[in-house]
Amino acid sequence: MTEEFNKYKITYLFIALNFIVYVISAFLSSDIIDMDIKVLLNMGALYGPYMVLHSEWWRLFTAMFLHSGMTHLLMNMFSLYLMGRVLESYFERKTYIAIYLFSGLVAGLVSEFMHPVDVAIGASGAIFGVLGAIAGFFLAFRERIKEQSKAFMKDFGIIIVINLVLGFTIPSIDMSAHVGGLVVGFVGGFIVSKNPKFIWLYGMLMTLIILGRIFYMHGHYVEAMF
């Protein structure tokens, strides 16, 4: 068990953090199954009016660890358990952390761009970033590991199709955040697979994108509201 934890330490730490935050939100909501929307807002859910008008940009980070209910949490953590361990096997831990966090942050910005007055939460944007990074890895090394790459890309396509179908049939699923996280993760996975030192380039690029979007977000929010 100790060896398993040490091998996939970051994945298990992310899962543990999500569960800890969920327990706190469940306690404050007085409900273990469904969370109170007011509690989620107070704990840092994404919400355009608070983010833009009150400069509460920290919500981009906190929203990644909040979930609306037990089903939402378990589905995301099961996905992270499966894909996170794969990513942790292929990349350095600092790369894994960077891809996970940047994917979640950008996914949050994309979500707010598409739904400026909706409340949004969940780790799915970051998790889709993990999936995207794995796809980037296999694409970067497709010539060296042709069979494995071909098999993964086939499974990857199936996963994307399933999520697209779910996204179009279940209104509560924010496909924009999923796509945003997926693209950010893919770019990170591909770049770092080409050269691990490019993690710093990736980090600077994502930081500039996030800051640039935040800078222009106020104008877009005002247009959407009025």
Count CB atoms within 10 A of the CB of residue 210: 18
Is residue 68 part of the annotated active site? The answer reads no
**From 124, 149, 176, 193, the catalytic residue:** 124
Return the closest-CA partner of residue 135 out of 110, 158, 152, 114: 152
198: exposed, middle or buried (Cβ count in 10 Å: 0-12, 13-18, 19+): middle
φ, ψ (nearest 5 deg) of residue 46: -70, 130
> Which residue is listed with tokens 């109170």?
36
Pairing of strands 119-120, 46-47: antiparallel
Residues 208, 191: Cα–Cα separation, whole Å: 17
Task: Please answer whether residues 209 and 106 qualify as being in contact, where contact means their C-beta atoms are separated by less than 8 angstroms.
Answer: yes
**From 25, 103, 149, 178, the catalytic residue:** 178
Torsion of CA 12, 79, 103, 53, to 10 degrees: -100
Return the closest-CA partner of residue 120 out of 183, 176, 55: 176
> Which residue is listed with tokens 């697209």?
164
Is residue 54 part of the annotated active site? The answer reads no
Task: Please answer whether residues 182 and 128 qualify as being in contact, where contact means their C-beta atoms are separated by less than 8 angstroms.
Answer: yes
Which residues belong to the active site?
124, 178
